[in-house]
Amino acid sequence: ITDRFDSLYKQADISVQVKNLLNERYAKDVSKKICSVMESMQKQGKFVGSKAPYGYLRDPMDKHHLVIDPEAAPIVRELFEMVAGGCTLHYAAVTMNDRGIPSPGRHNFDLGLVKSDKFKNSLWYQQTVRKILIDKTYLGWMIGGKYRSAFHRSGDKKSKAVPKEDWIIVENTHEPLIDRETFNKVQALAQQKSEQYFEKLGRFTHLEATENILKGLV
């Protein structure tokens, strides 16, 4: 309104066009500076996420440092011990639900870190357990740069996943919850089960493919 622009006529005063151009340049400049600061902090091993990983809390004295959550940390250790002892992810998730242990989403809701009611009664799932078991944060490492949003480069505001080899990893940034031997054992078991799963998938590849008799009917 103040720029005397009416989209009905799809013609803008030259001043509006110039202002839009300057605004976009300004937004890209801000994006570049923010990305630079974030990357610098990640390389220093500082936590820059919005919520601490399950099992940790933000240090009240330094929001970029993680401290152990006395309520959730024992659950993280137990999950690693269960799976390292041969339990499946499904069994671990069901056990947590049967014992009434709050899931990570429910735990954050109870702490007031998330407000959405969808987390109020959230449960443990296999994916929840898997996400915890592969997170090297529990080794005392800080993992950054998993996702990248660079409006100043591409003009796209959406975050995109970054290949693992390009992640920013800094060791010994906070107190670990899991020793490296246990962590590596869990990863080895997961790799073994994954290989067995894909091996089973090939059991019937020698058979001729036939058209589903229910195709087009169901």
pTM confidence score: 0.74
120 vs 197, higher pLDDT: 120
Q: Highest mean pLDDT: which of 4-18, 108-122, 175-189?
A: 175-189
Which band of pLDDT confidence, cut at 50, 70 and 90, is reported for residue 156? Answer: low
Helices in the chain by DSSP H: which ranges?
14-43, 73-84, 89-98, 104-111, 126-133, 151-154, 180-201
| Residue 113 and residue 51 in contact, taking contact as beta carbons nearer than 8 Å | yes
Percent of the chain predicted with pLDDT > 90 = 49
- pLDDT at position 181 is 95
Over residues 28-42, the mean pLDDT reads 82
Instruction: For 87-108, write each residue's pLDDT tens digit.
Output: 999 999 999 999 999 999 999 9
Residue 34 CB burial class (10 angstroms; 0-12, 13-18, ≥19): middle
3 state DSSP class of 173: coil
Instruction: Count other C-beta atoms under 10 Å from residue 105's C-beta.
Output: 20
Asked if residue 154 has pLDDT above 70, the reply is no
32 vs 97, higher pLDDT: 97
Closest alpha carbon to 173 in 53, 89, 74: 53
Query: Can you tell me the distance from the alpha carbon of 140 to that of 181, in angstroms, rounded to the nearest whole number?
Result: 13
What would the two tokens of residue 184 be? Answer: 């590596």
